[in-house]
C-alpha cells in the first residue's frame, strides 16, 4: 500500500515546526530555509512569511527581508504589519516603521511585539511620555505582561520617575527572575537613585562577554599569595572609571593582573601589571570582571569613589595659547546610545566664537576637526597620549565619553555634556559628581536639546575665563 502524500498545509506546518527549533538554537540559516519552504507551501499563513523575514533579519539580509515580505504583505493582517514595521525599524526607516507598527496595534491591540518595538522607537526619539502611555495601554489589555512592564519601567526611568520605575521593574523581576535584561534595568535604576550596594548587587545579573579565563570566579575572599586576574568587560570609559578599585582588590589577592585593551596599558601600568585582553593570560588562580569589584569588595561610598587623581601621565603635551580648551563632541561609532551622547560639531560654534581662547580637538575617528579648532588627533596614538594632552590643557569640554572619564581620573578640570536621560553614574540631577571632584555636569533640560546645553557652557566659559577658574 502506497504511503499517502501529506497535505501541503500539513507539510508546511512540519517545516515551520522544524524551523522554529532551528531558530531557537540560533541556526538562522536553517530556519530561513525551512520557513521559506513553509511559506511556499502555504502562502496564506501570515506567520510563515513573517518568521521568514525575522530569520533573514537575524542573518543580516535586511533588504531581502523587506522586499520579500512587502511583496506578500496583507495590510489587514496585524502580524504582517507588525513584522514589516520591525523590518523597517531594523533598516533605520523609523518614521515608516512607526506607521506600520501603529497600524498593527489598531488592527490588534494585543500585538505585543509591535507595542514593544514602537515603544523602543519613541524612547529612542526622547518621546518618553508617548512610550509610557503605550505601555500602560498595553498592560490594560495584558496585565502582568513582563516585556511591557520592563519597557514601562525603562521609559519611566528615562523621565526621572525613578520610584515608580523601581516599583514596576521590581514587579517585572519578580515575575521573570531569570531575565537578565530586567535585572540590568533594575540595577541601573537603583544606581541612578544612589542606592549603590543594592544596585551593584543587582548588576551582577548583567550579560557578560566571554571571560578570558577558565579559572574560578573570585568572590571577594582573601587569597594571600594568589594571583587575581581582573578583566575589562565594557567600554574604555568604564575601565577608566573603575580601575581606581584595583589596589583594594590587590590587598585581598596578593597579586593582581589586569586584562585590558592595549591602548590602556601605558596609562594603567602604575596601578597594576597589564596584559592584552585578546591573548591568553599568564598563570592565575581566580578571575573576575572589573565592574563586579564594587559588589565583591562590599564598598561604601567613601571607598567606592576614593581619591583623585588616581591616574598619571607624563610629560604634559606642549600646547600653545593663553587659555587652552579641549573639545570632544562624539562617542565611539556603533555605541548603542550614540545618538543621545553625541552632537554635531556645528553646534559648538558659540564656544569657538569666544575670544581669547585656543580650542583643541581631541576627537578621534570622526574625520578632520572643524575650522576653528587645532586637531590633536595626529598626535594621539593611545589614551596615554590623550592624557598628556589633557595635562597640557586648561579645560576639557566633552560629551559623556572616555576622554571625560580620563580627565576626571587625572584630576583635570572637565565639563561633561549629558543627554536628558543620562547614564546611571551621573545621577538624575546636579552639576557635580562624587566620582570626579573637578568635573562639572551640563544637562539637557529637554530631550535632544543640545543647543541649550551649549549656550549654558558658553556663558559659563565666558565667566570662568575672567578668573581662569575652571
For residue 465, the model assigns a pLDDT of 85
For residue 333, the model assigns a pLDDT of 57
The grid coordinates of residue 148 equal: 511591557
> Is pLDDT at 338 greater than 80 in this prediction?
no
Rounded to an integer, what is the distance from CA 421 to the centroid of its chain? 12
> Is pLDDT at 102 greater than 70 in this prediction?
yes
> Is pLDDT at 18 greater than 50 in this prediction?
yes
Number of Cβ atoms within 10 Å of the Cβ of 127: 16
> Is pLDDT at 39 greater than 80 in this prediction?
yes
- Bridge partners of 398, per DSSP, are 328, 416
Rg of the Cα atoms in the chain = 26
CB 325 within 8 A of CB 359: yes
The grid coordinates of residue 426 equal: 551621573
Average pLDDT of span 83-100: 94
For residue 470, the model assigns a pLDDT of 86
% of the chain surpassing 90 pLDDT: 79
Tens of pLDDT, residue by residue over 395-453, are 999 998 899 999 999 999 999 999 999 999 999 999 999 999 999 999 999 988 999 99
Q: Which domains does the chain have, with CATH numbers?
A: 8-203 (1.25.40.10), 226-305 (no CATH), 324-467 (3.40.50.2000)
Average pLDDT of span 22-28: 93
CB 174 within 8 A of CB 144: no
Tens of pLDDT, residue by residue over 128-187, are 999 999 999 999 999 999 999 999 999 999 999 999 999 999 999 999 998 999 999 999
- Bridge partners of 324, per DSSP, are 358
The grid coordinates of residue 355 equal: 575670544
The grid coordinates of residue 124 equal: 529612542
For residue 4, the model assigns a pLDDT of 59
- Bridge partners of 261, per DSSP, are none
The total number of residues written for the chain in this structure: 470
Phi, psi (rounded to 5 degrees) for 424 = -55, -30
Is pLDDT larger for residue 367 or for residue 284?
A: 284
Output the pTM of the full model: 0.88
> Is pLDDT at 464 greater than 50 in this prediction?
yes
- The candidate with the shortest Cα–Cα distance to 342, out of 370, 363, 369, is 363
Task: Quote the CA–CA distance of 470 and 461 in Å, as a whole number.
Answer: 8
Number of Cβ atoms within 10 Å of the Cβ of 430: 10
Number of Cβ atoms within 10 Å of the Cβ of 106: 12
For residue 368, the model assigns a pLDDT of 81
Per-residue three-class SS string for the chain: CCCCCCCHHHHHHHHHHHHHHHHHCCCHHHHHHHHHHHHHHCCCCHHHHHHHHHHHHHCCCHHHHHHHHHHHCCCCCHHHHHHHHHHHHHCCCHHHHHHHHHHHHHHCCCCHHHHHHHHHHHHHCCCHHHHHHHHHHHHHHCCCCHHHHHHHHHHHHCCCCHHHHHHHHHHHHHHCCCCHHHHHHHHHHHHHCCCHHHHHHHHCCCCCCCCCCCCCECCCCCCCCEEEEEECCCCHHHHHHHHHHHHHHHHHHEEEEEEECHHHHHHHCCCCCEEECCCCCCCCCEEEEHHHHHHHCCCCHHHHHCCCCCCCCCCCCCCCCCCEEEEECCCCCCCCCHHHHCCCHHHHHHHHCCCCCEEEECCCCCCCCCCCCEECHHHCCCHHHHHHHHHCCCEEEEECCHHHHHHHHCCCCEEEEECCCCCHHHCCCCCCCCCCCCEEEEECCCCCCHHHHHHHHHHHHHHHHHHCCC
Q: What is the dihedral of CA 28, 61, 154, 304, to 10 degrees?
A: 80
Amino acid at each position: 500500500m502506497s504511503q499517502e502524500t501529506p497535505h501541503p498545509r500539513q507539510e508546511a506546518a512540519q517545516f515551520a515546526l522544524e524551523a522554529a527549533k532551528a531558530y531557537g538554537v540560533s541556526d538562522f540559516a536553517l530556519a530561513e530555509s525551512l520557513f521559506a519552504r513553509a511559506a511556499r507551501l502555504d502562502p496564506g499563513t501570515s506567520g510563515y512569511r513573517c518568521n521568514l523575514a525575522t530569520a533573514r533579519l537575524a542573518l543580516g539580509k535586511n533588504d531581502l527581508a523587506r522586499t520579500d515580505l512587502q511583496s506578500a504583505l496583507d495590510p489587514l493582517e496585524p502580524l504582517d504589519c507588525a513584522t514589516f514595521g520591525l523590518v523597517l525599524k531594523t533598516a533605520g526607516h523609523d518614521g515608516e516603521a512607526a506607521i506600520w507598527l501603529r497600524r498593527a496595534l489598531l488592527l490588534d491591540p494585543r500585538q505585543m511585539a509591535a507595542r514593544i518595538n514602537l515603544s523602543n522607537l519613541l524612547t529612542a526619539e526622547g518621546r518618553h511620555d508617548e512610550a509610557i502611555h503605550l505601555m500602560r495601554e498595553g498592560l490594560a489589555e495584558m496585565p502582568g505582561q513582563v516585556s511591557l512592564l520592563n519597557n514601562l519601567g525603562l521609559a519611566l526611568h528615562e523621565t526621572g520617575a525613578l520610584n515608580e520605575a523601581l516599583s514596576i521593574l521590581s514587579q517585572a523581576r519578580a515575575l521573570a527572575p531569570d531575565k537578565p535584561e530586567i535585572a540590568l534595568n533594575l540595577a541601573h535604576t537603583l544606581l541612578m537613585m544612589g542606592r549603590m550596594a543594592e544596585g551593584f548587587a543587582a548588576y551582577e545579573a548583567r550579560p557578560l562577554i566571554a571571560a578570558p579565563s577558565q579559572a574560578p570566579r573570585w568572590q571577594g575572599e582573601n587569597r594571600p599569595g594568589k594571583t587575581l586576574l581582573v578583566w575589562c568587560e565594557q567600554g574604555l570609559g568604564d575601565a577608566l572609571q573603575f580601575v581606581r578599585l584595583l589596589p583594594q582588590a590587590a590587598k585581598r589577592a596578593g597579586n593582581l593582573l589586569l586584562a585590558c585593551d592595549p591602548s590602556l596599558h601605558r596609562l594603567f601600568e602604575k596601578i597594576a601589571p597589564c596584559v592584552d585582553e585578546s591573548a591568553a593570560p599568564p598563570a592565575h588562580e581566580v578571575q573576575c570582571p572589573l565592574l563586579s569589584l564594587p559588589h565583591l569588595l562590599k564598598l561604601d561610598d567613601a571607598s567606592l569613589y576614593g581619591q583623585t587623581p588616581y591616574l598619571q601621565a607624563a610629560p604634559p603635551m606642549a600646547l600653545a595659547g593663553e587659555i587652552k580648551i579641549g573639545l570632544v563632541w562624539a562617542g565611539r561609532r556603533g555605541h548603542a546610545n550614540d545618538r543621545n551622547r553625541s552632537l554635531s560639531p556645528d553646534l559648538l560654534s558659540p564656544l569657538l566664537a569666544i575670544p581669547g581662547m585656543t580650542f583643541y580637538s581631541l576627537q578621534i575617528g570622526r574625520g578632520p576637526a572643524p575650522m576653528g579648532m587645532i586637531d590633536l588627533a595626529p598626535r594621539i596614538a593611545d589614551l596615554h597620549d590623550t592624557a598628556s594632552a589633557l595635562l597640557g590643557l586648561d579645560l576639557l569640554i566633552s560629551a559623556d565619553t572616555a576622554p571625560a572619564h580620563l580627565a576626571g581620573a587625572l584630576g583635570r578640570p572637565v565639563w561633561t555634556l549629558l543627554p536628558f536621560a543620562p547614564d546611571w553614574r551621573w545621577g538624575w540631577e546636579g552639576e557635580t559628581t562624587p566620582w570626579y571632584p573637578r568635573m562639572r555636569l551640563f544637562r539637557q533640560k529637554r530631550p535632544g536639546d543640545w543647543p541649550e546645553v551649549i549656550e549654558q557652557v558658553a556663558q559659563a566659559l565666558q565667566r570662568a575665563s575672567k578668573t581662569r577658574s575652571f
